[in-house]
Amino acid sequence: MLRYIFRRLLVAIPTLLLLIIICFLLMHAAPGGPFTSERKLPPSVLANIEAKYGLNQPLFVQLWDYLTGILLHFDFGPSFQYKDRDVNDVIATGFPVTLTYGTISFVLATVVGVALGVLAAVRHNTLLDYIAVGVTFSAQALPNFVMAPILVIIFTWQLGWLPGGGWNGGQWQYVVMPVIALSTSYMASIARITRSSMLETLHSNFIRTARAKGLPTRKILWRHALKPALMPVLSYLGPVFVAMITGSVIIDMYFSTGGIGLNYVNAAFNRDYAVMLGVTILYGALTVLFSLVVDVAYAWVDPKIRY
Amino acid sequence: MALLSIQDLRVDFTTADGVIPAVKGLNCEIAAGECLGVVGESGSGKSQSFLAALGLLADNGTARGRVLFDGQDLLTLGQAEQNRIRGNVISMIFQDPLTALTPHLRIGDQMAEVLSQHRGISGAEAQKACLDWLDRVRIPEAKRRLRQYPHELSGGMRQRVMVAQAMLLSPRLLIADEPTTALDVTVQAEILDLIAGLQKEEGTAVALITHDMGVVARMCDRMLVMRLGEVVEEGATDAIFHAPQHDYTRLLIDAMPRLDRPDRTRPLTPVPEAAEVVLEARDVKVHFDMRVPGGLFGRTVALRAVDGVSLTLHQGETLGIVGESGCGKSTLARAVLELIPPTHGSVAWLGQSVDGLSKRQLVPRRKDLQIVFQDPLASLNPRMTISASIAEPLKTFQPGLTSKERKLRVVEIMERVGLEPALFNRYPHELSGGQNQRVGIARAMVNRPRLVICDEAVSALDVSIQAQVIGLLKDLQADLGMAMVFISHDLSVVREISHRIMVLYLGRVVELADRDAIYGAPQHPYTKSLISAVPIPDPRLERTRQRLRLPGELPSPLDPGAGLRFLPSRLASGQRDYVPRLDQVAPGHWVAEHDPLEAILAAG
């Protein structure tokens, strides 16, 4: 197992390297640059600024400098957009925010989603099942950009219970709405996957054997059905976790949480090459890491999988 | 008083098409310590009756009537009361041992569950009880098995675990639902012996549900024949076999292929003198790379699925290939058709070598070589009508035909294989298994091939349908003179249809001879043990037969010493890679080199 993990981490290095190179080239292939704006700068000033950031160098020299900076000094370069801040700063301020509300959303979505799915499967074709299916369908039809304004209207305008935005160091009042807005549709997907895979598991032969042994339903569910039913959920959770902790531009924009999701999109609009690449590398590394976590979790659920 | 008395049991399923009756008023009794055989084809309601008795019906099923166990009506019990009976005084084992155990729980934990649930026994005491029973069902290295997961055990061993688990609390009734259907013949024989032994020693009554008349003949005192949810005949096994009263019972008994009585339907058409060679294979090997743990990136070992097989097949001849699971019979078929490229060896179709030809070059030659697969439904495209499936080879190989001509040819072949023209525009899921297999045969035969390979083509069918399909294949051979390779794990079926028979063991030929020679005077111990393990549907004969039991389970093809199971002397002298010689003991009768039987039995 350790050998497997080591091997996977080894393979991650060329994967990430490739990701960096492709993103770097794509970024530079896009028309415009960080200092092109509606109000044209005088050519001499532009040349000066570009020289300062090394943008006048040939592309492969820039790439080389960028890669060596990362490998030797863990330096992802300066931001082109925010003066006096480098990429490490931008990530260090934005990422903890999204990590906080993302993790809480993830836990909420998983726990509620799995519970709802299991319940619906166990009470298959009863009123409870129909309600659960109805709720999940509607929840999936409510993306976060619809959910967020609805929440603000209800809890801020009407009831005045919660602040309509800001982060305030992650005080709970500021976290509630981002979490609900972000987790709802994921929760619905998790519930639906759990329900269908639990239904399939409950119809399998080994569940019939467990029933023939005289085990009560509760035991059959916990000991025999849950693990195999969670297999498809598990493979969904890996990418979902990464998507959630890296935040969402909608949430960051709507609730002014100051998370990294907004930085990412702004960086793309403003051709802030360094921030864009830095965040991409963060996403890539997290994706690689959590797909490994999912694979390791598989081995825990299914003894047939041995690395 | 009877131990179990079922009175007017009715089982209905509510489906989208309305209420479908599965059991229509079953009456039967099982006395303490008795073995009752419940026989019937698919859809007879034999399994559903007993699932209903235990309260294990699917959600959409309802049961009415009375199921008295010791005078108590099981159908009126609540969930908790039913749970106290299941696994305790009545236990059940199922057909497919590969899926019947929970995959993520250790064998020991699954078994101990029964003890803690019903008796509150756990810990060391429970482990000891499990160990005792694993020993009693003759599982080797029982202690190690307790810590293993189901997938680490062979199918036969898993079924033994199921039996041990069912017997843990010494139930008074054991319901065995097709307990040996998915198993190889030698393993089937062992499991049946085991159940019969438990019935005697423990006094457990057994309800044996099966489609196999041979199994009933071996095991049961009394039997019950079911058809479409109703009992058609009931009585002592001897009486029913020797003087069946009902037409359906007679039909079932007659439909069973029998080792001791081939050619029930029509005799085989003899192979013409000096017939052309249709297929020739020399020293064919197929090795698969298997990844095993080791080193940073793992390492691969070769799994020798087929390891040096030669065969020659003439026009109008049928070669039967038999062997147990993992012996390479299907791989061999695919290799000689170049569906899997052989790792080594040469293959010639119709006298022309096909070695080294690309896939594209092979295509035009495939017209004359066709294959029919095991699962009739799964091997047809569900989104194509059956006529479209049958017409497809015509489009490939005779693109010049107009659509009218093609339709004519399809109708013609459908009629020839016994499919009504009304089925022309139907989809596979609308047809029965037997009809679908006729579609498979029609698709294979539409271009009048010179060779048809039937890979377990009748294994999934009910016996009466099986007999019809075999009759059809024989007829087609008599009319069209094609050669056939008939692959099956069922020795009785192979005997019915084959001129010559090849017995495979772990990718190598152990015996090859004319069918009468191989069944009348088998030479190799493996052939002998296979033949002696097949139950014959005749209770009197079956009870007097001597079985040849070879020691050990069917080994894995990855086990390096396994190929020399019949040459323990070579193994003892360290010649692990020795390849047994094939000797000709009589004209056309080849037998692999082996040690005397006593030495093999001693080595096990």
What is the pLDDT, as a whole number, of residue B113? 94
- From A7's Cα to the closest Cα of chain B, the distance in A is 7
Residue spans of beta strands (DSSP E) within B358-507: 369-372, 451-455, 483-488, 500-505
- Residue ending a domain, among B525, B543, B561, is B543
What is the pLDDT, as a whole number, of residue B265? 61
What is the pLDDT, as a whole number, of residue A4? 83
What's the one-letter identity of residue A267?
A
Residue B97 resides in a domain? yes
What is chain A's length?
A: 307
Residues B19, B61: Cα–Cα separation, whole Å: 9
What is the pLDDT, as a whole number, of residue A31? 77
Residue B352 resides in a domain? yes
Residue B402 resides in a domain? yes
What is the pLDDT, as a whole number, of residue B262? 65
Q: What is the end-to-end Cα distance of chain A in Å, rounded?
A: 5
Q: Which of A208, A228, A306 is nearest residue B56 as measured by Cβ atoms?
A: A208
Q: What is the CATH number of the domain that holds B107?
A: 3.40.50.300
**pLDDT tens profile B385-397:** 999 999 999 999 9
What is the pLDDT, as a whole number, of residue B295? 63
B142/B207 same-domain check: yes
Q: Which of A214, A301, A304 is nearest residue B87 as measured by Cβ atoms?
A: A214
Q: Which domain holds residue B439?
A: 380-447
B362/B493 same-domain check: yes
Number of domains in chain B: 3
What is the pLDDT, as a whole number, of residue A275? 87
What is the pLDDT, as a whole number, of residue B450? 94
**Residue labelled with tokens 């009748």:** B458
Q: Between helices A87-122 and A226-245, what is the axis angle to 10°?
A: 150
Q: Between helices B107-119 and B155-167, what is the axis angle to 10°?
A: 10
B120/B47 same-domain check: yes
B362/B401 same-domain check: no
Residue spans of beta strands (DSSP E) within B480-595: 483-488, 500-505, 508-514, 582-586, 589-592
Q: What is the pLDDT along chain A (307 residues), one digit of tens a residue?
A: 788 888 888 888 899 899 988 988 888 887 777 776 666 778 888 788 777 777 778 888 888 888 888 888 888 888 877 777 888 888 888 889 999 999 999 999 999 999 999 999 999 888 999 999 999 988 888 888 888 889 999 999 899 888 888 888 878 889 999 999 999 989 999 999 999 999 999 999 999 999 999 999 999 999 999 999 999 999 999 889 998 888 778 888 888 888 888 888 888 888 888 888 888 888 899 999 998 899 888 888 888 887 7
**pLDDT tens profile B168-189:** 999 999 999 999 887 888 888 8
Residues of chain B contacting residue A129, judged by C-beta atoms under 8 Å apart: none
B353/B395 same-domain check: no
Which residues pair with residue B227 across a beta bridge?
B230
Torsion of the alpha carbons at B122, B128, B133 and B138, rounded to the nearest 10: 140
In Å, how far are B241, B290, B304, B479 from B559, measured between CA atoms? 43, 13, 10, 45
| Burial track B373-389 (b if 16+ CB lie within 10 A, e otherwise) | bbebbebbeeeebbbbb
Q: Give the side-chain half-sphere CA count within 13 A for B140.
A: 8
Residue B501 resides in a domain? yes
pTM assigned to the model: 0.85
What is the pLDDT, as a whole number, of residue B133? 92
B364/B384 same-domain check: no
- Say yes or no for a CB contact (<8 Å) between A306 and B293: yes
Q: Which of B59, B83, B162 is nearest residue A216 as measured by Cβ atoms?
A: B83
Residue spans of beta strands (DSSP E) within B294-385: 299-314, 318-322, 344-349, 352-353, 369-372
B66/B148 same-domain check: yes
User: Chain B residue with minimal CA distance to A6?
Assistant: B296
Residues A239, B536: Cα–Cα separation, whole Å: 58
Which parts of chain B register pLDDT below 70? 262-265, 293-298, 552-555, 560, 604
B98/B14 same-domain check: yes
Residues of chain B contacting residue A216, judged by C-beta atoms under 8 Å apart: 79-80, 83
Residues A91, A97: Cα–Cα separation, whole Å: 10
- From A5's Cα to the closest Cα of chain B, the distance in A is 10
Residue B599 resides in a domain? no
B405/B499 same-domain check: no
Torsion of the alpha carbons at B566, B567, B572 and B575, rounded to the nearest 10: -120
Residue B217 resides in a domain? yes
- Residue ending a domain, among B205, B225, B255, is B255
In Å, how far are A110, A113, A197, A207, B117 from A122, measured between CA atoms? 18, 14, 11, 13, 22
In Å, how far are A292, B55, B500, B541, B588 from B515, measured between CA atoms? 56, 48, 5, 21, 11
B341/B434 same-domain check: no
Residues B109, B468: Cα–Cα separation, whole Å: 46
- Say yes or no for a CB contact (<8 Å) between A212 and B96: no
B339/B394 same-domain check: no
**Residue labelled with tokens 């976060």:** A144
Percent helix, strand, coil in chain B (nearest 5)?
40, 25, 35
Q: Which of B100, B149, B293 is nearest residue A205 as measured by Cβ atoms?
A: B100
Residue B263 resides in a domain? no
**pLDDT tens profile B15-72:** 888 899 999 999 999 999 999 999 998 889 999 999 999 999 988 899 999 999 998 9
B363/B490 same-domain check: yes
**3-state SS assignment for residue B169:** coil
* ipTM, interface predicted TM-score of the complex: 0.83
Residue B266 resides in a domain? no
